[in-house]
A and B are shown apart, each in its own frame.
Chain A
């Protein structure tokens, strides 16, 4: 079974750093892009960026460029999303998902269970 398992919920203070993880299993982790998606409370899905674990090629949405860092450790089939200085506005649910690209079709499947990040003083 293809599966992505994310790290647990986090509660942080503004200015703190954070790194959350997404571990893949059941498929060749280095052969598919992994994407990170933000969902703020009561809002829609926003694509943040993607990484190809095979060579760590990374692309960011312009909205998130410079705000977060995406990385991967292919030796342990794990992708990461990190912040160096959190803001209250980073409070959201964060999902990772495997990106499947075939010709003119792009889809995210499966998704991790999500990691809730709460930033509050």
Chain B
């Protein structure tokens, strides 16, 4: 079982804002990073650290954290944002751990 918990599925209307959450005790000490994975493709880092986007990631993606919950927000979701999203941080031993993933549907 994962030490990071995500909702299995979330939906958003085209152009609206959606928040994807990740819960875990380790998030009180470590930032989460977020990955987007489209069918048949490798995961891609979209958010890391406090709220940093790698080069090439649109600014509609943002990250935040409060207590034991990290959030990925997509402001103005686009059809191409439909994908699986995974959070990642460290577990109680300091080793990497992934959340179970959230399937985002853009309606």
Contact = CB atoms under 8 A, between A and B. Distances in A.
B45 interface: yes
A44 B99 CA distance: 8
B98 A47 contact: yes
Interface in A83-121: 95, 97, 99-100, 102, 104-114
A1 to B, nearest CB: 11
A112 B29 CA distance: 28
Interface string B16-52: 0000000000000111010101000011110011101
Interface residues of B, number: 28
Interface of A is mostly: strand
A106 B47 CA distance: 11
Contacts of A114: 42
Listed residue (A100, A104, A105) with the most chain B CB atoms within 10 angstroms of its CB: A105
B7 to A, nearest CB: 13
Given A47-B95, A106-B88, A111 B33 contact: no
Nearest to B50: A105
A20 to B, nearest CB: 15
B95 A61 contact: yes
B54 A104 contact: no
Contacts, number: 71
A106 B101 contact: no
A45 B101 contact: yes
Contact of A50 (B31, B84, B86, B96): B96
Contacts of B98: 37, 44-47
A87 B88 CA distance: 28
B89 interface: yes
B96 A112 contact: no
A44 B2 CA distance: 10
Interface string A25-69: 000000000010100000011110010000000010100000000
A109 B55 CA distance: 11
A113 B43 CA distance: 9
Listed residue (B29, B84, B96, B101) with the most chain A CB atoms within 10 angstroms of its CB: B96
